[in-house]
């Protein structure tokens, strides 16, 4: 049995990572979604091991100490991270796994897992990205401006990725990513 592929999908806030990842998973049912660990409390209906691996702060800090995370970050007082064991077991079973992750986290994963396939999801244009963020209706103008500044910085990190996929239409972005996965399975690895 051959080893599965680690596909890391990232890109700027508002580019549609979650939407594309959800659509891709419905089209490719064998693609395993990487479940993150978090110290935040479960919300109604969330299941441990399905939505997140829910950990105490002490458990999470122990995971950090024992290098059991491919990447992690603290956000609004809670930790979030990608458990190494879950990813490695899935790959060893010959299954492909996708991580939907922000850019800084993707670069951390690349340090620990350079054989992964790193896909940067691009907006059709910066104006379109700004319209998408505005369209959420949840951000102040200062926040939108900050997100746009960060997006430009993240796009400048494109050279660290293997592929760039423009998210002009969800279906097309999914087709492009599926083509990448197919090509990577056909690749001769030395």
Q: What CATH number does the domain containing 45 carry? A: 3.30.63.10
User: Which domain CATH number covers 160?
Assistant: 3.40.50.300
Region 129-135 average pLDDT: 84
- Same domain for 103 and 152? yes
Q: What is the pLDDT of residue 104?
A: 87
Q: How many residues does the chain have?
A: 190
Confidence band (pLDDT; 50, 70, 90) for 51? confident
Using an 8 Å Cβ cutoff, are 175 and 33 in contact?
no
- Same domain for 10 and 55? no
Q: What's the predicted TM-score (pTM) here?
A: 0.87
Which residues are part of a known binding site? 11-18
Using an 8 Å Cβ cutoff, are 123 and 167 in contact?
yes
Confidence band (pLDDT; 50, 70, 90) for 140? confident
Domain extent, residue 79, equals 35-95
- Same domain for 180 and 128? yes
Kindly tell me if the per-residue pLDDT of 190 is higher than 50. no
- Same domain for 42 and 69? yes
- Same domain for 161 and 179? yes
Kindly tell me if the per-residue pLDDT of 189 is higher than 80. no
Which residues are part of a known binding site for ATP? 11-18
Confidence band (pLDDT; 50, 70, 90) for 137? confident
CA-to-CA distance for 136 and 131, rounded, in angstroms? 9
- Same domain for 22 and 108? yes
Using an 8 Å Cβ cutoff, are 170 and 23 in contact?
yes
């Amino acid at each position: 049995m051959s080893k599965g592929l680690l596909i890391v999908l990232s890109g700027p806030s508002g580019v549609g990572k979650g939407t594309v990842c959800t659509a891709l998973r419905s089209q490719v049912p064998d693609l395993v979604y990487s479940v993150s660990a978090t110290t935040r409390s479960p919300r109604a209906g969330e299941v441990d091991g399905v939505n997140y691996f829910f950990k105490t702060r002490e458990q999470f800090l122990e995971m950090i100490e024992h290098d059991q995370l491919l990447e992690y970050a603290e956000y609004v007082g809670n930790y979030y991270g990608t458990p190494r064991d879950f990813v490695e077991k899935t790959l060893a079973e010959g299954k492909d796994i996708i991580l939907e992750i922000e850019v800084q986290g993707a670069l951390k994963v690349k340090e620990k897992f350079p054989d992964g396939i790193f896909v940067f999801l691009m907006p059709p244009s910066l104006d379109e990205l700004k319209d998408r963020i505005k369209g959420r209706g949840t951000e102040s103008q200062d926040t939108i401006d900050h997100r746009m500044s960060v997006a430009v910085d993240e796009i400048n990190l494109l050279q660290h990725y293997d592929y760039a996929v423009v998210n002009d239409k969800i279906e097309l972005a999914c087709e492009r990513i599926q083509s990448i996965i197919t090509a990577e399975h056909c690749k001769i690895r030395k």
